[in-house]
Amino acid sequence: MKQHLKLPIFKKLSVLADNEGAEIYVIGGFVRDIFLSRPSKDIDILVVGNGIAFAEKVADALKVQLNVFKNFGTAMLRFNELEVEFVGARKESYRAHSRKPVVEDGTLSDDQKRRDFTINAMAISLNGATFGELLDPFGGLDDLNSRILRTPQNPAETFSDDPLRMMRAIRFATQLDFTINDEALNAINQNRERIKIVSIERIIDEINKVVLSKKPSTGFRLMFDTGLLHLIFPQMVALYGVDYKNGKGHKDNFYHTLEVLDNVAELSNDLWLRWAAILHDIAKPATKRFDEIHGWTFHGHEDKGARMVPKIFTQLKLPLNEKMKFVQKLVQLHLRPIVLAQDVVTDSAVRRLLFDAGEDIDSLMMLCHADVTTKNDFKKKKYRQNFELVKQKLKDVEERDQIRNWQPPVTGNDIMETFGIPAGKEVGIIKNQIREAILEGEIKNSRDEAFHFMLEKAKELGLAPLTDQN
């Protein structure tokens, strides 16, 4: 293992540990990622004894700042773009009502037993006499090779003690494309109610890592199958299932949503575009109706879905800022390009789409492209071909009319100054008429044409300019 410990920090730690008579190891994710050939700049150092006291000596020797977190018994420093965290070896016991453990000093073995998964319990010695020796008491390396997630101890106790580990299991399985072994998977199902004692902030941090993974549907399927999703995000679970009436059914909107999410993940790493995929059909259960002629309908699900977004973001402690508004806009508009792709595309419809989507038009088009999940190859090919026509039309209209980042060619101030009127109903009427005329193609998006149009419409309202206008 010595060849994997060539970073200067390891030699410095080794010398200092031997000088201080300290027993230290690199443990956890850094060791795991060595075998997965994944780069890592986060290094966890385990000290048998007082981890903070040793970290203070390291910081003094390296002449760097140390951040101490006494409540957690940890300390962290940065060195050569690495983030190095120190903790003392410990053993833990838990009470049923809390995920905060009773902590005592422990040995390396005690600390490895308390780790979440075998692949995260491997340690490498940094002391001179045993430098580079791998200590793997639970077969973490074999599990890495088999791509299996197991817990070092009884998984029921592991997950009951710290329920967040259930979410971590699902996150690691999704990120690493690993399988959770049957015993651990059953334990998650049995202990799912324990997730209620974990803060939603900690849970959503794990969910966002799932959302950002290469194939996020893996994690959501695991959350659904174990019952965790039912407790964390019941609105998404409500999408599950197919109803039949008079021999007519609809697609399963839960699995459709997962397919759209995976499609978006292939196109973009944007977390919030992926959340738009998760929420684009979220109101279908609330808007589902059966029509004798057309079968199952979901009329207005885009409007209701957009109204649901702020409540869901609040519930999940997601940011209530421009990120939420971006998701809300895409949920609101996600049917528009699909409708355009089915019908004859008019310049007016394209201008209105550009106006409403603004700078988010490219993200909207990606979402809509991903939303085509029909298994009918003919339909899929037709939709995709029509989408290309819509995209070209969007490009042509934008180059000509510059609607995408709309700035009114005639402002409210222009109207008030021209006619010597205060802000009021007439100003709003004229502004709206100018905007509609541009979107309908009656006039060009230019100041000259908009100004002359303004004079005509103002005359109809009985308004006259203060001076002659050219």
| Residue 102: predicted pLDDT | 58
Which DSSP string corresponds to 274-288?
Answer: HHHHHHTTTTHHHH-
Residue 196 has pLDDT above 60, yes or no: yes
d(CA 120, CA 233): 28
Domains and CATH numbers, the chain: 2-141 (3.30.460.10), 147-232 (1.10.110.30), 412-460 (no CATH)
When pLDDT is cut at 50, 70 and 90, the band that residue 113 belongs to is very high
Residue 74 has pLDDT above 80, yes or no: yes
For residues 95 and 194, the answer to whether their CB atoms sit within 8 Å is no
Residue 98 has pLDDT above 80, yes or no: no
When pLDDT is cut at 50, 70 and 90, the band that residue 96 belongs to is low
d(CA 219, CA 225): 10
Residue 293 has pLDDT above 80, yes or no: no
| Residue 448: predicted pLDDT | 87
| Residue 92: predicted pLDDT | 65
Choose the weakest-confidence range: 123-137, 146-160, 291-305, 306-320: 291-305
| Residue 233: predicted pLDDT | 98
Q: Choose between 307 and 427: higher pLDDT.
A: 307
Among 174, 187, 117, which Cα is nearest to 150's? 117
Element (H, E) at 326: helix 322-333
Structure tokens at 259: 């397919």
For the chain, percent of residues with pLDDT exceeding 90: 60
Beta strands 82-88 and 42-48, pairing class = parallel
d(CA 300, CA 308): 12
Among 139, 145, 151, which Cα is nearest to 176's? 145
Residue 99 has pLDDT above 60, yes or no: no
| Residue 153: predicted pLDDT | 93
Reduce the DSSP state of residue 318 to 3 states and report it.
Answer: coil
Q: Could you read off the pLDDT of 352-386 as tens digits, one per residue?
A: 888 888 889 999 999 998 998 877 788 777 777 77
For residues 354 and 404, the answer to whether their CB atoms sit within 8 Å is yes
Q: Running DSSP on this structure, what letter comes out for residue 358?
A: G
Choose the weakest-confidence range: 34-48, 136-150, 244-258, 276-290: 244-258
Tracing tokens 């994710």 back to the chain, one arrives at 29
Work out the mean pLDDT of the chain and round it to a whole number. Answer: 89
Choose the weakest-confidence range: 3-17, 58-72, 428-442: 428-442
Residue 439 has pLDDT above 90, yes or no: no
For residues 170 and 184, the answer to whether their CB atoms sit within 8 Å is no
Choose the weakest-confidence range: 105-114, 177-186, 215-224, 404-413: 404-413
Q: Running DSSP on this structure, what letter comes out for residue 367?
A: H
Render the burial of 52-66: b for 16+ CB within 10 Å, e for the rest. Answer: bebbbebbeebeeeb
Q: Could you read off the pLDDT of 295-341 as tens digits, one per residue?
A: 878 889 999 999 999 999 999 999 999 999 999 999 999 988 877 76
Among 243, 315, 233, which Cα is nearest to 278's? 233
d(CA 228, CA 206): 13
Task: Report the number of secondary-structure helices (H) and strands (E) in the chain.
Answer: 24, 15
Reduce the DSSP state of residue 77 to 3 states and report it.
Answer: strand
Q: Running DSSP on this structure, what letter comes out for residue 120?
A: G
Beta strands 23-27 and 90-93, pairing class = unpaired
Structure tokens at 38: 């994944």
When pLDDT is cut at 50, 70 and 90, the band that residue 101 belongs to is low
